[in-house]
Each structure stands twice: as structure tokens, then as C-alpha cells.
Amino acid sequence: MSPESLSAAVLAVLTPIAAERRPDEEFTLTASDIVLDRPRNRDHGDWASNIAMRLAKQFGTNPRELAQQIADGLAEVDGIASAEVAGPGFINIRLDAAAAGALAKTIVEAGSEYGTNNSQAGRSINIEFVSANPTGPLHIGHTRWAALGDAIARLLTASGARVAREFYINDAGAQMERFAASIVAAAHGEPAPEGGYSGAYITDIAERVKAARPDFLDLDDAEQQLVARELGYEYQLAEQQQSLSQFNVDFDVWFSERILHAAGADGGPSLVDRAVDRLREQGHVFDEDDAVWVSTTDFGDDKDRVIRRSNGEYTYFAADAAYYLNKGDRGFEHKIYLLGADHHGYVHRLKALAGAAGDDPDKDIEVLIGQLVSVGGARLSKRAGNIIEMDDLREWLGTDALRYSLERYPADSPLALDPELLQKRTNDNPVFYVQYAHARTHNVARNAADSGVDRSEFAPELLTHETESALLGALQEFPRLVAFAAEVREPHRIARYLEELAGLYHRWYDNCRVIPQGDDPIQTVHRTRLWLNDATGQVLRNGLALLGVSAPERM
């Protein structure tokens, strides 16, 4: 019996009670309103509900009396072994073994779909993360956001949302000219200009530019700058894309900032020009001191923002506005921004922008701020010289260990990774612990096949050992946890769940045999336990997939 079917059973019991106690009122409660929790102490049952405490007042009775009436009704439901009242009105529910154990077959038959849900169905979500200047390699900060952003997108997709992963390419502005000037200087064997970019990677790009354009050094200064900027941009962006792909992060949209400033298809106003007009139509733009302002203080910002200076130049806020409006034009009702630790000032600014655009700042936009991450013993990039590169980290620690570790903690917590621990093949290493549990499920299945144990029988009522009850209880929680982690944007809940599940599986493995000992005959219980073994492997595999981490079959 799943949590959903149990909630439906509670509702079925409640409906006639409501008709009896409130005959003149419509009962509008639904199954989704009935919250079930796993008791910390398994002696208290499989599930607990506080529904009687929530409804007692409007039902005109005390919580314990209503709880007892509900418990009496639940005791008559097939699949429920007992329902007891505890404390001020909690209802502790225990499922019978067959009803609890039936989940193992459900999971195996559902396969990779187990854990998916419809909690985000009907939502269109744009999630922007990693966004970087195409002027250098991706670094350790980008690495954390790549892991977290991709995992959040996976959770939202698994929960039914239409999701687009978007990378905002910061390819407009002075940094691109400094980048080009640095490449030109390197091509001539000269040091980088003041404020420019240095490092071996600039020299490498310069050599590629000269190879692609043998006439490069013969061009005039303006042409050299243009060629260096465009080819350097192309090479560096391709490298960033490759770095992310090797980290199991792929984007649906690579959005160029240049698009915002380019003239319209008919030579008309740019998206930035039109953004000012569209905000003005919403009534939140005013003119003062020959500049154009947006009244962002109307939506909680600490000050109004200039969108066009008195000299006619647009501010960065203008590009932010055009970009935000463009996302809505592309059909995304909800926008998620993942920004670095130095972007706290953007939270109120972006939310105020949403309000000025006519959206609901509390519902239509979400800004997540990540904290810094450090890795003990990590060396600065040999190519860039002043950063820790994503590629170096991945090659050093491995994609799985790095992704899992970055996703194992809340985004807003500073993080220090221990490389020595992450490279250990012991249970102290969380990712190894989870992956080893998955590999063990496959080893058990292989050995079972060699011994003649198959899944030709399934008798869930035989799964009565206390470790089986605990394991089934955890497996049952997975779909609800996926939905909750998606709702709160917290992939670390999946990682911690997988570690708990791995621990429960290892304890079950130590106590319950899938393969009979010695010459003992193969019995129905062995075949049934193989279903439970394979169900656990499936959930471990599904959970690791949500984190973008592999599930090896052998270790």
C-alpha cells in the first residue's frame, strides 16, 4: 500500500464521519490534504497522521475522540494491520506484511519511472545556472552551480515540469574587448594589457587564431581585434561546453547577451529598447535628470534603478530586464536564477524587475544564492594561473565523487571538500557507500541467477523480518521525497536519502538471505527477497540518476 493509497483510505473513512458530524456542511478535503509521516520509532507503526488534531475543532469534538473513530474505521481496511491512537490525537498505522511488501514488485515493474510524480505538472520553468564570460576556463564556483543546477532541473523534470536548462553567455561588453586585446598581445609575444587576461590558455588561443588566419599578423589593429575576439570567443565557448558535457551537464539553451542589444529583424528597436517601452507600459518607469528609471522600490528594492543613463547608454539592469521579458516571451512562467555568493544584491533587484514587468515576484521568479566551495590541496590552474579549473577538479576527483559531494549539501552552506576522503574506496566516502550498495544488489542478482533463484514467485506476506520492514518503508518514501526535493530545490535531500537507504540495504543483506545456504532448497521466500533486492537496486539507480551520478554494477 503506497502513501497515496493510504491517504485515500483515510479520506474514505473520514467522509462518512464528516457527513455524520457536519451534515449541513460540504466536506472538501482531498487525499492530498492528508499528510502522512514516518514515525521515528518503528515500534509506533509504519505511518502516522495528525489529521484528527487538525479537524477536531471544526468537527466539534476533541482530537483523541475523533482519532479513535478514524482508527476504528482504518482497522477494517484491507492491507492495514492496526491503527492506534497515541498522545493528544496522533493515529499510528501499521500495514500488514503483504500490503507493505507488495511495493517491491511495484518498483521493479515501474523501473526507471518509480519516483516520478506530477507535483510540478503544468509548470514551465526556465533555470539559468553556471552563466559565465566566454573569456576563460570554468572554475570551482561554476562547478558547484553546474552540479546543483542540473540536479534541480532533473528533479523538476521528474516531477512533471517542462524545464529548460539555460546558459547565459556574457558575450557583450568591455570584457570581450579586453579578452581580444589579450589574445592580440599574446600573438605578438607581448604581455597582456592592463586589466587583460593572462595565462597559458591565452597563448594557446593566440596560436589557434594564427593557425586559422595565417594573415592575422598582417591585418590592421582593428581587424586583429575583431578576428581575435570572434575566434577566441568561439574557441573558449566550445571549451566551456565540452567541460560541462564531460561533467554530465548539458544545456537546452545557450543564450547570447548580444541578442539583447542587436537590432530587430526589420532593423527596428532591440530587445533592450523594447524592454524600456514595455516596462513603461506597466506604469513603473519614470524620467528624472535626463535619465530613465524603473520604480523598483515599489516592489521591495532598496532604491530605484537607472535603466538608461542621461547620455543615452543602457545600464546592466536594462539587459537584465530585456532578458527576463524574453524568457516570458518564450513561454516560461517561472524563472529560476542560480547566482554566486557575490550576487546577493541581485535578489531584490531581480524580484523587483519581475514585479515591474507585471509578474508576481513571490511566484514567478526565484533567485538562489550559492556559497563558496573549497577543496583542500587543490592547485591553481596551470593554464589560467589564478583559478581552480573545473576540468582539473573533475580529472583529479572524478565526475561522480565531485558531483555527489557538491550536491550533498544545501546550496547556501559554505562547503569544504576533503579530496583524500573522496578518493577512498571505503564506507567513509558517501558516494562510494551508495554506489557500492547498488553494485551489491547486482552482485546478489548475479549470484541468485547462478544458484537458480529467480523472480518466478512473489509472496510479499513473507517479508516479515524487521530489516525488511525498515527497507520497504524507506523505498516507499522515495516518490514523495523526489516531489519535496523538487519543490524546495534541494538535491541534497536525495543524496542523504540514498545514504540512509544504502545503510538499510546493507543491514538487510546481513540478515536475510536471497540464496539458500548449503543444500537447502530454494523456497518462495528466497524468490520474494530477490524482488526486494532488485527493487532496492532500482531506487538507488533512480536516485543516483537524479544527481547525475553513475550507478556501477560492479565495484
Q: Are residues 430 and 513 in the same domain?
A: yes
In a domain, 254, yes or no: yes
Residue 374 and residue 356 in contact, taking contact as beta carbons nearer than 8 Å:
no
Q: Are residues 113 and 133 in the same domain?
A: no
Q: 178 pLDDT band (50/70/90 cuts)?
A: very high
Domain boundary among 339, 355, 373: 373
Question: pTM for the full model?
Answer: 0.90
Q: Are residues 113 and 132 in the same domain?
A: no
Q: Which of 288-297, 348-357, 371-380, 500-509 has the lowest mean pLDDT?
A: 371-380
pLDDT for the residue numbered 261: 93
pLDDT for the residue numbered 161: 97
Task: Summarize pLDDT for 201-221 with one digit per residue, the tens.
Answer: 999 999 999 999 999 999 999
In a domain, 134, yes or no: yes
Contacts of 441 (CB under 8 A, 6+ apart): 505, 533, 534, 536, 537, 540
Distance CA 334, CA 545 (A): 24
| DSSP β-ladder status, 90-95 and 47-49 | antiparallel
pLDDT for the residue numbered 340: 82
* Sheet containing 334-339: order of strands: 253-256, 162-169, 124-128, 334-339, 365-369
Could you list the residue range(s) of the whole structural domain that residue 466 is in?
A: 101-119+425-546
pLDDT for the residue numbered 99: 81
pLDDT for the residue numbered 263: 87
Alpha carbon separation from 200 to 49, 147, 230, 306, 323 (Å, rounded)? 62, 27, 19, 39, 34
The CATH number assigned to the domain holding 335 equals: 3.40.50.620
User: How far does the chain reach from its first CA to its final CA, in angstroms?
Assistant: 34
Q: Are residues 164 and 204 in the same domain?
A: no
Closest CA to 529 of 452, 454, 474: 454
pLDDT for the residue numbered 530: 98
Question: Over 80: is that where the pLDDT of 343 sits?
Answer: no
Residue 546 and residue 117 in contact, taking contact as beta carbons nearer than 8 Å:
no
Domain boundary among 196, 225, 246: 246
Question: Over 90: is that where the pLDDT of 79 sits?
Answer: no
Q: Are residues 143 and 281 in the same domain?
A: yes
pLDDT for the residue numbered 378: 82
Alpha helices in 452-550 (DSSP H): 466-488, 492-511, 524-546
Task: Summarize pLDDT for 253-288 with one digit per residue, the tens.
Answer: 999 999 999 987 778 899 999 999 999 999 999 999
Q: Which of 16-30, 78-92, 295-309, 434-448 has the lowest mean pLDDT?
A: 16-30
Q: 371 pLDDT band (50/70/90 cuts)?
A: confident
Q: What is the chain's mean pLDDT, rounded? A: 92
Q: How would DSSP label each residue in 341-395?
A: GGGTTHHHHHHHHHHHTTS-TTTSEEEEEPPPEEETTPPPPTTTSSS-BHHHHHH
In a domain, 405, yes or no: no
Task: Summarize pLDDT for 322-331 with one digit per residue, the tens.
Answer: 999 999 999 9
Q: Are residues 51 and 89 in the same domain?
A: yes
In a domain, 553, yes or no: no
Amino acid at 255: F
Q: Are residues 82 and 213 in the same domain?
A: no
Strand partners, 84: 92
Q: Are residues 432 and 507 in the same domain?
A: yes
Q: Are residues 21 and 88 in the same domain?
A: yes
Alpha helices in 282-345 (DSSP H): 316-329
Rounded to 10°, the helix 466-488/524-546 angle is 20
Q: Are residues 289 and 141 in the same domain?
A: yes
Q: Are residues 164 and 264 in the same domain?
A: yes
Task: List the Cα angle 481/102/465 in 5-degree steps.
Answer: 90
Question: Over 90: is that where the pLDDT of 345 sits?
Answer: no
Residue with the bigger pLDDT between 440 and 22: it is 440
Domain boundary among 218, 246, 274: 246
Question: How much of the chain exceeds pLDDT 70, in percent?
Answer: 100
Q: 131 pLDDT band (50/70/90 cuts)?
A: confident
Q: Which of 107-116, 186-195, 336-345, 390-399 has the lowest mean pLDDT?
A: 336-345
**CB neighbours of residue 298 within 10 Å:** 13
Residue 108 and residue 531 in contact, taking contact as beta carbons nearer than 8 Å:
yes
Residue 248 and residue 400 in contact, taking contact as beta carbons nearer than 8 Å:
no
In a domain, 470, yes or no: yes
The three cell numbers locating residue 134: 566566454
Q: 97 pLDDT band (50/70/90 cuts)?
A: confident
Q: 21 pLDDT band (50/70/90 cuts)?
A: confident
In a domain, 115, yes or no: yes
In a domain, 390, yes or no: no
pLDDT for the residue numbered 22: 82
The CATH number assigned to the domain holding 471 equals: 1.10.730.10
pLDDT for the residue numbered 379: 77
Mean pLDDT across 437-447:
98
Alpha carbon separation from 257 to 244, 261, 340, 367, 462 (Å, rounded)? 20, 7, 19, 19, 61
Name the helix (H) or strand (E) containing 294. strand 291-294
Alpha carbon separation from 299 to 111, 265, 333, 460, 551 (Å, rounded)? 46, 33, 19, 57, 46
Q: Are residues 158 and 204 in the same domain?
A: no
Longest dimension (CA), the chain: 93
pLDDT for the residue numbered 118: 93
Q: State whether residue 253 is helix, strand or coil.
A: strand
The CATH number assigned to the domain holding 46 equals: 3.30.1360.70
Q: Which of 177-181, 271-275, 422-426, 480-484 has the lowest mean pLDDT?
A: 422-426
Closest CA to 46 of 89, 12, 83: 83
Contacts of 316 (CB under 8 A, 6+ apart): none
Q: Which of 61-65, 94-98, 432-436 has the lowest mean pLDDT?
A: 94-98
Number of independent structural domains in the chain: 4
In a domain, 406, yes or no: no
The three cell numbers locating residue 41: 520509532
Q: How would DSSP label each residue in 15-60?
A: HHHHHHH-TTS-----GGG--EE--SSGGG-SEEE-HHHHHHHHHT
Mean pLDDT across 420-435:
92
Q: 354 pLDDT band (50/70/90 cuts)?
A: very high
Task: Summarize pLDDT for 24-58 with one digit per residue, the tens.
Answer: 778 788 887 888 888 877 777 888 999 999 998 88
pLDDT for the residue numbered 398: 94
